[in-house]
Amino acid sequence: MQTITLPRPDDWHLHLRDGAMLRAVLPESARHFARAIIMPNLVPPVVTLDDAQAYHQQIMAALPQGMDFEPLMTLYLTESTDPTDVERAAASGLVKAVKLYPAGATTNSHGGVRDLNMVMPVLETMARIGLPLCTHGEVTTPEVDIFDREAVFIDTVLDPLRRSLPELRVVMEHITTEEGVAYAAEGSDTLAATITTHHLIINRNHILAGGIKPHYYCLPVAKREKHRLALRRAATSGSPRYFLGTDSAPHVDALKEHACGCAGCFTATNTMSLLAHVFEEEGALDRLEGFASRHGPTFYGLPVNERTLTLEKRTEPCIWPEKIQADPGPVTVFNPGFPVHWHVVT
C-alpha cells in the first residue's frame, strides 16, 4: 500500500497553551486535524463554563485564516468545582469533557484533586448527563515509584471509582503500560483509552541511555519496552477501546533543557506520518483509520469527519522543521530517530 486516504483525524488530547505559544503551535495541529480535545491546565486553569468560553474565543482568534479546526473544550476539575456549572457547560455544547488531574501529577496540575470524595457530587452529575471524565491516570504519593504510578492509579483510584459509578464515561488518557491496556480492554462501553504517538515509538531507554534526552521526557514517563509493545498491539488491534490522543505539549527549549526540565513531547507537526510508519511496521495500515478517525468520535458521540486526509509513501524521507519558532522561544519537534517515508499530501 503506497497511498492511504482516511477521514480527517481528530486529536483527543492536545495542549495548545495560550498567548504567543498558542499562536505558534495551533497551525501545527489545525493543518492535519479537524478537532481536538483541548487540555484546560493553563495558568490560571479553565475551571468554569465562562473560562471555557473565553479560552475557546482565544483559540478561534488565533486560528490562521483559511484553516478549519474545532476546539473541543474541557473543564479542569477542582475540589470546589460546582456541579451546576458543569451541567450548564455540557448543555452549552461547548464543553465535551472534564479533566481529572491528581494534584501535582504533571504540568500545571497543582490545583487538581487531592481527595476524590470532595468531587463526587460533580462525578455523579457527569454520570447522570453522560459527560466524559478524562483522567491523568497516575497517583502522586511519594512512596510509589514513578514507573508504577499508572498501575497503582488503576487499582486504587480508577477501578473503585468505576465500581461506585459504573455509568460514568471515562477516558484513560495517554496509557503507558500493559496494565492500562488490559484494563481498557476489559472495560464496558463506558471506558476508553487514548494512546500518544511518542509512547508508540520510545521507551525509557530513549530518555536515559547514553545521557539524558530532555525532549523525550514526558509524563506519564515512557516505560519498559514490553509496555511500548503492548501499546502498539492495542493501537493497531482495531479495538474501538483505543484511539489517538497525542498529548502534544509545547515547552520552549530553555524549559526542557533545564535542571528541572518540563515534561512533554511536541508531536503535532509529524504525528500522522509517524502513525502511518508505526501501523505499517505492525502490518496494520488498514486499521489506522479506526484509531485516528473513527473510534474517538464514536466514543464522544460525534460524527466522523466528512473531509479526508491522504498520506503517500515516497522514496525520499519526510523533512520537518527541527523547531517551531514561538515568541517565548523555540519548541523542538519530536524526532523519532529514524527516517519516515509517509508524507501527508492533502
Residues marked active site are found at: 247
The H or E element containing residue 56 is helix 49-62
Q: Within a 13 Å sphere around the CA of 216, how many CA atoms are in the beta-carbon half?
A: 19
User: Alpha-carbon distance 248 to 332, whole Å?
Assistant: 11
Assigned C-alpha cell, 1: 500500500
Task: Please tell me the distance from the alpha carbon of residue 11 to that of residue 22, in angstroms, as a whole number.
Answer: 16
Residue with cell 450548564: 88
With b meaning 16 or more CB within 10 Å and e meaning fewer, what string describes 226-247? ebbebbbebbbbebebbbbbbb
Number of residues that make up the chain = 346
Instruction: Read off the C-alpha cell for 192.
Output: 476508553
Cβ atoms 41, 110 nearer than 8 A: no
CB 298, CB 236: distance < 8 Å: no
Edge-to-edge strands of the sheet including 70-76? 10-14, 35-38, 70-76, 95-100, 133-136, 170-173, 191-195, 242-244
